[in-house]
Amino acid sequence: MTALPVQAAAAAPEAAPFPLVPPEYPILTFEGGDHALTDQLLAPLHGVGVVWWTLLALSGAGATLFLFCIWYTFAKGIGTWGNNIPVAWAFAITDFVWWIGIGHAGTFISAFLLLLNQRWRASINRIAEAMTIFALVNAALFPVLHLGRPWFFYWLIPYPATMGVWPNFKSALPWDVAAVATYFTVSLLFWYVGLVPDLATARDHLTSRVARRVYGIVALGWRGSSTQWRQHRVAYVLLAAIATPLVISVHSVVSLDFSIAQVPGWHSTIFPPYFVVGAIYSGFAMVLLLVLPLRRAYRLEQVITERHLDAMAKLTLVMGLMLAYAYAVEAFVSWYSGDPSERFMYLVERPFGTYAILYWIMMACNILTPQLFWWKRCRTSVPVLLGAGVAILVGMWLERFIIIVTSLHREFLASSWHFYKPTWVDLGLLGGSIALFVFLFLLFVRFVPFVAISEMKQLRHDLVANGGREIGLPDA
Amino acid sequence: MRDGRWPAGAYAAEFADERQFAGAVAALRDQGYTKIETYTPYPVARVDEVLSERPSVLPPLVFFAGIAGAAVGYWIQWFTNAVSYPLDIGGRPAHAAPAFFIPTFEATVLAASLAAFFGLFALLRLPRPWHPIFEADGFELASIDRYWIAIDATDSRSDRSMMRRALEELGPLRVVDVPGDG
């Protein structure tokens, strides 16, 4: 939204604190009442069709492959993977960083946009939060699998052991454990607090006795009293305020795994903001891939309007531009540092070396794709958004692969240079984790109200009370 | 909590329109009723203004929980790495505040959000799967598209028959007797 003072005077003469132009697309075009809205948003809880079962079977098969690869890794050891010294980190850490980055958009949409009073978030925040949780489930698995002896993962937790030793908190790895565990817990609490009123709606809307019992238990006896709503809103905003710095911190901490090392291509102060931007960027791409099919399947065009597509595309563009800036600064600083190893890594090895083809695919996916969103028609076109989402996710996975593998396979000593290639177990774990993610998301759609129903009702009534205009809407 | 206990039961009225409902709450308030509670599918700001209470205790609770989390988080690192089992790695100080900052931050966030979560449900006395208001016929629509008002029968403003009449005069869809839980 650009601010044009002349138009704004005509549009909102009454009490706008600063000039505003009405947004181009309406935030909500649903024409029915609250009951019809509830019916539509709870439709999957009453039953699902053949497509859902087919997708569940397919993703279930993929998730089984994931379990098989995990079992194989445990049984045979880490040697079944392609990584070996000097490329000690490869697919597993790439997958870890990729998944945890995807999670970031969920918290961004639910917490940042709540604090900034972006009320369009209500249509998609629940989907994005679920995405965060399922992405974090995958993310948390990979470092554990990568430990070599994963059954000793609890050694990373400071508990009083008979051995008398403790984790070394000057290492980045316990930081990771703290950051990821906290992020997962806070995301889950935030999600559940927002969900309780909608679970109560599901309890009251469903007809089967068993379903009413189950939703009655998980809704904790919510009755929507004014006291409950008031405290609920306070807690929700508090959690948002807590989650906002958290989301910035998590990928910053992940980036420190790299930047506190001295490996060329890792040792850079721009890493924390650069990683956070890339994380939110890839997360938006995943939100697009989840929201658009769901919007189509459940005919949610009146709830998830062109406004949402447009806003998501604009945010994707902003993140893409910030990422392009980070790439440029990285390359410049490597040259400016005068360090031959850094210069070689950024200016020779990555663009023209072993994995150059992946580097250029990454550049095309991450830098060129979002430029489409300068055009309004692209911002609201479902095929373009889906294509861009896939391209960005591919690009962001490649980015982490390039950071990790190109840097390690050409370390300081030329005698230890090495060529890395993944094994079928590496590929099975990556593909299987995607399948597990889809599987969990399908279960979420079937059993959990996937749009924040009470927030949508509040938004609808606020819009009606405000004469359908978005300017001057009260805070959520 | 205004509907924590209803030893003598309550009267509840159902409304279909938000504006009419908000007007009814204000009218009851003007008549001097104090033990009023409302049930709505979403927070209704106008009712909040009428039924305003003391500020929530959650913000200070969360703040102090965050401080406590930071203290415990830092203490764990200081005790484990600087006191119990100091590791000398290249002569770096065992008590390394800059390195300890990150887990301290995470501990702050974790404690604060756990306090917000458990504090919320403790304040609301949830989980409580059954409440007398659930016995009111048609109450299941209170989470979908209806607005309910309940007056505790022990409200000192008037006797029970007057309470019922006061609700009926506001033009609700129905008025229901709610059994007590005492």
CB contact under 8 A, B42 and A454: yes
Across the interface, of B56, B62, B110, the residue whose CB is closest to A182 is B110
List of chain B residues whose C-beta atoms are within 8 Å of the C-beta of residue A201: 41, 143-144
CB contact under 8 A, A185 and B110: yes
CA distance A182 to chain B (A): 6
Q: Give the 3-state secondary structure percentages of chain A, helix then strand then coil, rounded to 5.
A: 75, 0, 25
Helices of type H across A271-349:
271-297, 306-337, 340-343
CB contact under 8 A, B43 and A167: no
List of chain A residues whose C-beta atoms are within 8 Å of the C-beta of residue B39: 223-225
SS3 state at A394: helix
Tell which of A107, A129, A214, A228 to mutate to test the B interface (max B CBs under 10 Å): A228
Instruction: Let me know: does A37 contact B42? Beta carbons within 8 Å.
Output: no
CB contact under 8 A, B105 and A249: yes
CA distance B130 to chain A (A): 6
pLDDT at residue number A162: 86
Q: What is d(CA B34, CA B46) in angstroms, rounded to the nearest whole number?
A: 17
ipTM of the complex: 0.93
- DSSP structural state of residue A475: P
CB contact under 8 A, A455 and B129: no
Nearest CA in chain A to B143: A201
- Phi-psi sector, B119: left (phi>0), alpha (psi -120 to 50), beta: alpha
List of chain B residues whose C-beta atoms are within 8 Å of the C-beta of residue A182: 106-107, 109-110
Residues 6+ apart with CB under 8 A from A275: A97, A101, A251, A252, A254, A255
pLDDT at residue number A193: 95
B122-178 pLDDT per residue, tens:
999 989 988 888 988 889 899 999 999 998 888 777 777 788 888 888 888 988 988
CA distance B144 to chain A (A): 6
Backbone angles phi, psi at A56, to 5 degrees: -65, -40
Across the interface, of B37, B87, B92, the residue whose CB is closest to A226 is B37
pLDDT at residue number A206: 92
- CA dihedral defined by A318, A321, A323, A325, rounded to 10 degrees? -140
Nearest CA in chain A to B3: A225
CB contact under 8 A, A243 and B140: no
Nearest CA in chain A to B87: A168
Please list the ranges in chain A whose pLDDT falls under 50.
1-13
CB contact under 8 A, B58 and A245: no
CB contact under 8 A, A231 and B120: yes
B35-78 pLDDT per residue, tens:
888 999 999 988 887 887 788 899 999 999 999 999 999 999 99
Across the interface, of B44, B121, B145, the residue whose CB is closest to A33 is B145
A63-116 pLDDT per residue, tens:
999 999 999 999 998 899 998 888 988 899 999 999 999 998 888 888 888 888
B143-157 pLDDT per residue, tens:
999 999 998 888 777
CA distance A158 to chain B (A): 8
Cα angle B69, B74, B79 (rounded to 5 degrees) comes to: 125
CB neighbours of residue A152 within 10 Å: 10
Instruction: Let me know: does A259 contact A272? Beta carbons within 8 Å.
Output: yes
A403-451 pLDDT per residue, tens:
999 999 998 888 888 899 999 999 999 999 999 999 999 999 999 999 9
CB contact under 8 A, A229 and B103: no
pLDDT at residue number A6: 41
CB neighbours of residue A266 within 10 Å: 19
List of chain A residues whose C-beta atoms are within 8 Å of the C-beta of residue B120: 193, 231-232, 234-235
CA distance B149 to chain A (A): 9
pLDDT at residue number A4: 41
CB contact under 8 A, A204 and B144: yes
pLDDT at residue number A173: 87
User: Which residue in the block uniquely carries the two structure tokens 């095309």?
Assistant: A364
